[in-house]
Amino acid sequence: MQLKLKSLLCSLGLATTALLASHHVQAEGRLTIYCTVQNALCEDVAKRFSEKYDVQTSFTQMSTGTILGKLKAEKSNPQADVWYGGTIEPHFQAAELGLLEAYRPKNQASILPQFQKLMASDKGNYTSATYMLVLGLGINTEKLKALGLEMPKKWEDLLNPKLAGEVQIPDPRSSGTTYTIMATLISLWGEEKTFDYLKKLDANISQYPKSNLVTSNLVRGEVAESIGFTHAYITEKEKGNPIEYVIPEGKVGYALGGTSIVKNARNLDNAKLFADFVLTKEIQELPWREHHLYQLPSVVGAEVSPLMPNAEKLDFVEYDFDKFGSSEEGKYLINKWVEDVKLGDKLAK
């Protein structure tokens, strides 16, 4: 009898907690997400969160650099609660600028061991590694064949004069991808050689569009090659497009995707729930299970697709996250790219 009463009280207790929690969530039942994963995934994750927690959820999909700019502009009047996805360095820069709210998600300790040191640092107070992307070259094999060229093997192969007007990379003012390209090459070669390379590459670049347009232009055969994250090329190949990817010789570049909560978020409790949610096994596996999207999960125990590159076999670059995650360095490198690469020759002419 006593036992029965105890278990009844216990379940009543639990029910009260659950009710309070749901009452609390419903009291502020909204969540606004700035989202830098693919649009279909933003939509599905927002919908699943909304259904699970009874929260009215909305999202806006934008590139990493664009969101960093928006967070800066909205500092005194934040419009979003949480930032889901996008390369992690601009998240670190946002934290340094006081634009993020400290929160360590429940499952943060399950993030892959190789990123635990980073997560244990101050950076992990604000941002959690939510997925991983491998950097590579995207090739339109039909276009390459028509140009009579072989598959590239190394970064320097993109400088072949026969590729004049046949290469695109995204504009780093909006795109985190190109910031990763710069951070990778600087880590491999140093700053001087990297900018020398990017200036030479400029001779082969037809334009620097937004990151999603670079991939669609490659697929349409507007150009033969691009630099980007390999998961996007896998998706295009799977659709039957003549697209392959190459991981250039030497150490391999990569990006972590981040998730952070916006400082003074209006819906802070929901933002915390969301930061927990994106590290669950369900959401970690959702991209490849439901959407043919191949970012690598960041959490131990989340299964991978056989179509993804095998991260265990790759020899990754070691980034100095303090350097590339500093807002000073971010501004410096992007300004340098604009002045030396984008405008450089044109100003001199």
Tell me if 37 contacts ligand PLP by CB under 6 A: yes
Q: Closest by alpha carbon to 291, among 277, 276, 307?
A: 307
Give 158's DSSP letter: G
Interface with ligand PLP (CB under 6 A), residue from 176, 209, 258, 330: 176
Interface with ligand PLP (CB under 6 A), residue from 124, 209, 253, 257: 257
Tell me if 170 contacts ligand PLP by CB under 6 A: yes
Interface with ligand PLP (CB under 6 A), residue from 175, 235, 241, 280: 175
Minimum CB distance to ligand PLP, residue 141 (Å) = 20
Nearer to ligand PLP, 124 or 257 (CB): 257
Nearer to ligand PLP, 105 or 172 (CB): 172
Tell me if 232 contacts ligand PLP by CB under 6 A: yes
Tell me if 63 contacts ligand PLP by CB under 6 A: yes
CA dihedral 131, 135, 136, 139 (to 10 degrees): 60
Contact between 260 and 36 (Cβ < 8 Å): no
Contact between 172 and 64 (Cβ < 8 Å): no
Q: Report helix, strand or coil for 109.
A: helix
Minimum CB distance to ligand PLP, residue 3 (Å) = 51
Tell me if 86 contacts ligand PLP by CB under 6 A: yes
Contact between 36 and 85 (Cβ < 8 Å): yes
Tell me if 64 contacts ligand PLP by CB under 6 A: yes
Residue length, the chain? 349
Tell me if 260 contacts ligand PLP by CB under 6 A: no
Residue 243 has phi, psi (to 5 degrees) of -120, 135
Tell me if 209 contacts ligand PLP by CB under 6 A: no
Residues between 271 and 330 that touch ligand PLP (CB under 6 A): 295
How many H-runs (helices) and E-runs (strands) does the chain carry?
15, 11
